[in-house]
Amino acid sequence: MHFPTLTLLAFACKTALAVPTPSRAAELPLPARTIFQLNETVPDTWFENIALRQNGDLLVTMLQPSASIYSIQQPLSGSPKASIINIDNANGLLGIVETAPDVFAVVAGIFSAPAVRKYLVPLTTSRDLFREKRALAQREYHLELLLLILHVLAVNGTMAVWEVDLRGPEPTTRLITKMPEAGILNGVALVPGCSPPAILVADTAISRVWRVDITTGEYETAAEIPEMLPAPNATLPLGVNGVKTRGEYLYFSNSNLASIFRLPIDKRGVAARDAEAELVAKVDADIIDDFLIDEEGKYWVATNFQNTVVVAETGSSGVVVAGATTQLTVAGDTALALGRGTKEDKNIVYAVTGGTLNRPVNGTVSEPAKVVAIDRTGFK
Ligand SMILES: *[C@@H]1O[C@H](CO)[C@@H](O)[C@H](O)[C@H]1NC(C)=O
Ligand SMILES: *[C@@H]1O[C@H](CO)[C@@H](O)[C@H](O)[C@H]1NC(C)=O
Ligand SMILES: *[C@@H]1O[C@H](CO)[C@@H](O)[C@H](O)[C@H]1NC(C)=O
Ligand SMILES: *[C@@H]1O[C@H](CO)[C@@H](O)[C@H](O)[C@H]1NC(C)=O
């Protein structure tokens, strides 16, 4: 009875051995090249997040020094053109997601970070604090304290969600809602198939995910669970960070725990009161930032200070596919995005970086923010 099956298997194996596999597993690290980088004319630049338009153009958000979206056209052309869309009443942007074809939601806020101050009216209350912390930072606590400067000095009550509409001849922007109760809004995801459309927004400061109705601007708590909290003893407390939706789940990264969890949500994007999160990947890194989920359900993770991109399958701790601690390749990577399936970009994973602002490579080498194209052809 089993014989025919065995024969078939044996035959299949023989064939596989005899014929060279068409796409050999890619060697690591994967090829990675910088396709766009700012220069020193704007100091202390930090790219925070990225979304793709359906035509393959990139929308890259800047956390500092200004609330700008860099719209990068034909990113793989070798000489991409960039134009800038500015968001009002803010000096930094974070997560971005497409909510309808060529319409995006983006998170904005006011940060009293050092570079920001050169461009805006100084926020005098925090100036002395900053000076003191920078003096310390330059000595030994570079990483932790600079990040504290960047994050803790997010001005309380200034967070907001904006819409950017690219359907017309010129981009238009619209305030969806201010969220004065929010701490630091970070990653953003669309609730799949929800009408009217809604987004989920991670709040890294108060360890919660909000649901925002983008038509009315009404918002509420979508999830607030222990897995979103920073590690109890972390020097730099950062919990929930990146968020994605897939099927009936919200996936989120917890920076301190270097982990990705998933949580069941309802059609509106809200988690049941007793919903439990499930750990899907614990990455081998000190800290992680945002991530993406590819077609096969693998997690591509930006490790920021670790200067690498790690790919983890469910239950695995992952493999480094780009960068290294001592290399600038993807140094300070904050977020990743997949090409949208045009012939040219189908195998490209874009990484954006915070320009090693917080942790120069080898302690001394830093560079402006950039966008890197990683070629995953043949990677399995
Ligand atoms: C720096 O970038 C700006 C804006 O892209 C550009 O206009 C300028 O020429 C660049 N400067 C240098 C020195 O490359
Ligand atoms: C931010 O402001 C709110 C009131 O709007 C207050 O309840 C909260 O404690 C403040 N948070 C911080 C970190 O100061
Ligand atoms: C932080 O907590 C973890 C366990 O929760 C413990 O293993 C670790 O030693 C603690 N680190 C410090 C610096 O206290
Ligand atoms: C950092 O130091 C290592 C070891 O000396 C070296 O190989 C690497 O090129 C340095 N990185 C940069 C960006 O200079």
pLDDT, greater one: 273 or 10? 273
CATH number of the domain where residue 57 is located: 2.120.10.30
d(CA 315, CA 321): 18
> How distant, in Å, are the alpha carbons of 52, 193, 319, 369 from that of 40?
26, 43, 33, 10
CA-CA distance, 204 to 194, in Å (whole number)? 24
Model pTM?
A: 0.86
For residues 104 and 173, give the distance between their C-alpha atoms in angstroms, rounded to a whole number.
Answer: 10
Residue 207: inside a domain, yes or no?
yes
Q: Among 110, 152, 156, which residue has the most ligand 2 atoms within 8 Å of its CB, making it the best to mutate?
A: 156
Question: Does the beta carbon of 79 sit less than 6 angstroms from any atom of ligand 1?
Answer: no
Higher-confidence residue: 175 or 114?
Answer: 175
Mean pLDDT value of segment 298-311: 96
Question: Can you give the pLDDT at residue 200?
Answer: 98
Substitution site in 34, 325, 327 for ligand 4 pocket (most atoms within 8 Å of beta carbon) = 327
Q: Which of 323, 332, 273 is nearest to 38 (CA)?
A: 332
What is the per-residue pLDDT for 43?
A: 84
Q: What spacing in Å lies between the alpha carbon of 356 and ligand 3's midpoint?
A: 27
35 domain residue, yes or no: yes
Distance from residue 369's CA to the centre of ligand 1 (Å): 14
Q: What pLDDT is recorded for position 81? A: 96
How would residue 153 be classed by pLDDT, with cut points 50, 70 and 90?
low
Res. 329: pLDDT tops 80: yes
Q: What is the structure's pLDDT at 111?
A: 85
Whether the pLDDT of residue 127 is over 50: the answer is no
With bands split at pLDDT 50, 70 and 90, how would you rate the model's confidence at 363?
Answer: confident
Q: Which atom of ligand 1 is nearest to the CA of 38?
A: 2
Which residue did the predictor score with more confidence, 23 or 77?
77
- Of residues 248 and 11, more confidence is placed in 248
**Tens of pLDDT, residues 255-291:** 999 999 999 999 999 999 999 999 999 999 999 999 9
The pLDDT tens digits for 51-82 are 999 999 999 999 988 999 999 999 999 999 99
Structural domain contains residue 10: no
3-state secondary structure of 49: strand
Question: Residue 344: helix, strand or coil by DSSP?
Answer: coil
Domain total in the chain: 1
Residue 13 included in any domain: no
Q: Is residue 296 part of a domain?
A: yes
- Would you say residue 142 has pLDDT above 60? no
Residue 101 has pLDDT above 90, yes or no: yes
* Better-scored residue on pLDDT, 26 or 136: 26
**What is the predicted pLDDT for the residue at 44?**
85
Q: Could you count the other beta carbons within 10 Å of the beta carbon of residue 144?
A: 17
Domain extent for 103? 26-375
Asked if residue 380 belongs to a domain, the reply is no
CA of 282 to the centre of ligand 4 (A): 28
As a whole number of angstroms, the longest Cα–Cα distance in the chain is 83
Q: How far, in Å, is the centroid of ligand 2 from the Cα of 157?
A: 7
- CA–centroid distance, residue 233 to ligand 3 (Å): 6
Q: Is residue 313 part of a domain?
A: yes
Q: Which protein residues touch ligand 2 with a CB less than 6 Å away?
A: 156-157, 180
Residue 300 in this model has a pLDDT that exceeds 70:
yes
What pLDDT score does 357 carry? Answer: 75
Between 45 and 120, name the one with better pLDDT: 45
As a whole number, the mean pLDDT across the chain is: 85
Which atom of ligand 1 lies closest to the CA of 39?
1
Q: Which residue has the higher pLDDT, 190 or 121?
A: 190
Q: What is the pLDDT of residue 113?
A: 53
What pLDDT is recorded for position 112?
Answer: 75
Rounded Cα distance between 179 and 109, Å, is 10
* 214 CB-near residues (< 8 Å, 6+ apart): 99, 105, 161, 163, 176, 196, 197, 198, 199
Q: Residue 12 falls within a domain, yes or no?
A: no
Q: What span, in angstroms and rounded, lies between the C-alpha atoms of 379 and 113?
A: 39
User: What whole-number percentage of the chain has pLDDT above 70?
Assistant: 83
Tell me which residue has its CA closest to atom 1 in ligand 2. Answer: 156
Comparing 2-6, 212-216, 286-290, 306-310, the range with the smallest average pLDDT is 2-6
Helices 142-152/127-136 angle, 10° precision: 160
Our CA angle for 341, 342, 346, nearest 5°, is 45
Pocket lining: 39 vs ligand 1, CB cutoff 6 Å? yes
